[in-house]
Amino acid sequence: MLQVKEFPKNFILFADTLIAIGGIFIERRKYQSGLRYYQLVRGMFECVHPKNHSRIILRRAKVYNNIGYVYSEMNQFSCALKYYKISVDIETKLLPSNHPSIATGMNNIATAYLKKQNFSLANKYFQQANEIRPTSLPFDHHPDHAQMYNNLGTMEYEKKHFDQALVHFEKALEIHMKCLPPVHPQTVILYNSMGHAYSGKDNHKKALEMHEKALEIGQQCWPSGHPEISQAYCNIGGASRSLKDYARALSNCEKALIIARNCLPSTHPDLAEAYSNLAEVYSITNESSMALTYFLKALDIYTKNPPINSFTLGVLYEEMGIEYSTVEKYEEALKHFQMALNIFQSSHEVESSLKTLFLNLGQVYHHNNDYDNALIYIEKYIQFELMLIPNINYQNLSQAYDTLGDIHHQRKNYPIALKNYEKALESAEKVDSISSTEEDRSTLIQQYQNTIKLIKDLID
Residue-wise pLDDT for 316-361, tens only, equals 999 999 999 999 999 999 999 999 999 988 765 556 678 899 999 9
Kindly write down the DSSP assignment for every residue of 63-102, as one continuous string: HHHHHHHHHHHTT-HHHHHHHHHHHHHHHHHHS-TT-HHH
Q: How far is CA 148 from the centre of its chain?
A: 21
d(CA 406, CA 452): 11
Cα(13)–Cα(17) distance, integer angstroms: 6
pLDDT tens by residue, 28-81: 778 888 889 898 888 887 776 555 567 778 888 899 999 999 988 887 888 999
- CA angle, 238 as apex, 235 and 243 as ends, to 5°? 125
C-alpha 411/C-alpha 414 separation (Å) is 8
Distances 54 to 4, 49, 63 between C-alpha atoms, Å: 13, 9, 14
Q: Cα–chain-centroid distance for residue 249?
A: 18
CATH class of 393-460: mainly alpha
**For residue range 285-326, what is the model confidence (pLDDT) as tens digits?**
999 999 999 999 999 999 998 886 788 899 999 999 999 999
Reported confidence tier of residue 401, pLDDT bands at 50, 70, 90:
very high
**Stretch 226-241: mean pLDDT, rounded?**
94
The amino acid at residue 79 is C
What number is the average pLDDT over the span 106-117? 87
Q: Are 431 and 442 in contact (CB under 8 A)?
A: no
Distance (Å, rounded) from C-alpha 111 to C-alpha 217? 25
Listed residue (199, 202, 195, 141) closest to 169, CA to CA: 195
Cα 108 from chain centroid?
19
Confidence category of residue 141, pLDDT binned at 50, 70, 90: low
Q: Where does the chain hold its CATH 1.25.40.10 domain(s)?
A: 1-132, 137-214
Share of the chain above pLDDT 70, in %: 92
- Write down the H helix ranges in 95-244: 100-115, 119-136, 143-158, 162-179, 185-200, 204-221, 227-242
Q: pLDDT tens digits, residue range 208-227?
A: 999 999 999 999 999 999 98
* Nearest Cα residue to 200 out of 170, 160, 234, 235: 160
CA dist 79 and 165 (Å) reads: 28
What's the Cα-to-Cα distance from 169 to each of 77, 92, 139, 154, 419, rounded to whole Å? 24, 29, 19, 8, 50
Does the structural domain 1-132 have CATH classification 3.40.50.970?
A: no
How far apart CA 75 and CA 150 sit, in angstroms, is 20
Phi, psi for 4 (deg, rounded to 5) = -110, 120
CA pair distance 270, 286, nearest whole angstrom: 24
Higher pLDDT pick, 348 / 432 = 432
pLDDT reading at 433 higher than 80: no
Position 135 confidence tier, pLDDT thresholds 50, 70, 90: low
Residue 2 has pLDDT above 50, yes or no: no
Could you tell me the CA-to-CA distances from 309 to 77, 79, 282, 351, 356 in Å, in that order?
11, 16, 25, 17, 20
Task: Phi first, then psi: give them for residue 172, nearest 5 degrees.
Answer: -60, -40
Mean predicted lDDT score pLDDT of the chain: 88
d(CA 59, CA 301): 36
Report the C-alpha gap between 277 and 269 in whole angstroms.
12
From-to residues of CATH 1.20.58 in the chain: 393-460
For 82, half-sphere exposure in the C-beta direction (CA atoms, 13 angstrom radius) is 7
Q: Is 177 exposed, middle or buried (0-12, 13-18, 19+ CB in 10 A)?
A: middle
139 — pLDDT class (breaks 50, 70, 90):
low
Percent of the chain beyond pLDDT 90?
56
- Per-residue pLDDT at 4: 44
**CB within 8 A of 445, min separation 6: which ones?**
425, 428, 429
What is 137-214's CATH topology? Answer: 1.25.40
Give the pLDDT band (50/70/90) at residue 3. very low
Q: Could you tell me which residue, 210 or 263, shows the higher pLDDT? A: 210
DSSP 8-state secondary structure symbol assigned to residue 190? H
Q: Would the pLDDT of 9 be above 70? A: no
Least confident piece of the model among 41-55, 161-175, 223-237: 41-55
